[in-house]
């Protein structure tokens, strides 16, 4: 009798155990893809170099943004692509946009303004969607995606989901390093795992409208 009574409970526990196991497996595979992509430096040529925005400091690129721009500049000077696309909006209190600061930096280092496409956006999805129409108008589809290694997989996945063909070119010497780096990889693993299930566009809409901040991981963007 006891065995008959506990059979449904064991059945439910068995299902929960399987789901938890699948969740850990999915997370592990996702993390591995993010890790490996951050170490994959494509040698391809493309139509444009797509630089993902990050913080600026009152009109001056932050260390992280400067690293991305210097890598993009090297790619442009090496003739890997004839266009540079800069993205990133502004935060409350900012007087400059990340994309605007990036464009000024590139122009000051010899990239003609006529070869720079300026976008916006406050997260990765918005970064890409802000420039898709401009890219299409110039018949540009293939892009070298320049961002930090931990962000490279999601950046490429979102670019691909919006009709672009991305080639990863993660920053060679990212300023984001050290003991706290695990938090960035944890955040990316969560963002990619959820984004692939519900759609990156939907995740962006939800997180931006609710200003989601995850404990110990920081803002979801």
- Residue 207 is predicted with a pLDDT of 83
- Reported as a single tens digit per residue, the pLDDT across 106-124 is 999 999 999 999 999 999 9
Residue 50, strand partner residues: 85, 145
Count CB neighbours of 68 within 10 A.
Answer: 27
Long-range CB pairs of 138-142, under 8 A, 24+ apart, other chains included? 138/47, 138/83, 139/47, 140/47, 140/48, 140/83, 141/47, 141/165, 142/44, 142/46, 142/47, 142/48, 142/166, 142/167
- Reported as a single tens digit per residue, the pLDDT across 127-137 is 999 999 999 99
Question: Could you tell me the pLDDT band of residue 219, with boundaries at 50, 70 and 90?
Answer: very low
pTM of the full structure: 0.87
CATH architecture of 48-168: 3-Layer(aba) Sandwich (3.40)
CATH 3.40.50.620 residue ranges in the chain?
48-168
């Amino acid at each position: 009798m006891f065995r008959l009574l506990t059979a449904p409970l064991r059945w439910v526990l068995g299902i929960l155990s399987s789901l938890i196991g699948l969740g850990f497996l999915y997370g592990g595979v996702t993390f591995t893809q993010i890790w490996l992509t951050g170490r994959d430096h494509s040698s391809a040529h493309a139509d444009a170099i797509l630089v993902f925005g990050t913080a600026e400091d009152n009109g001056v690129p932050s260390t992280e943004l400067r690293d991305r721009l210097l890598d993009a500049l090297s790619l442009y000077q090496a003739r890997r692509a004839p266009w540079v696309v800069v993205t990133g909006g502004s935060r409350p209190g900012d007087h400059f946009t990340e994309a605007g600061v990036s464009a000024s930096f590139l122009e000051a280092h010899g990239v003609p303004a006529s070869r720079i496409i300026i976008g916006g956006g406050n997260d990765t999805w918005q970064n890409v969607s802000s420039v898709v129409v401009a890219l299409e108008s110039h018949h540009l589809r293939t892009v070298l995606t320049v961002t930090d290694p931990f962000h490279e997989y999601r950046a490429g996945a979102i670019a691909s989901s919006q009709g672009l063909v991305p080639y990863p070119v993660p920053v060679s010497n990212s300023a984001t390093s050290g003991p706290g780096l695990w938090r960035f990889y944890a955040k990316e693993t969560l963002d990619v795992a959820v984004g692939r299930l519900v759609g990156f566009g939907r995740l962006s809409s939800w997180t931006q409208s609710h200003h989601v901040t995850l404990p110990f991981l920081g803002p979801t963007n």
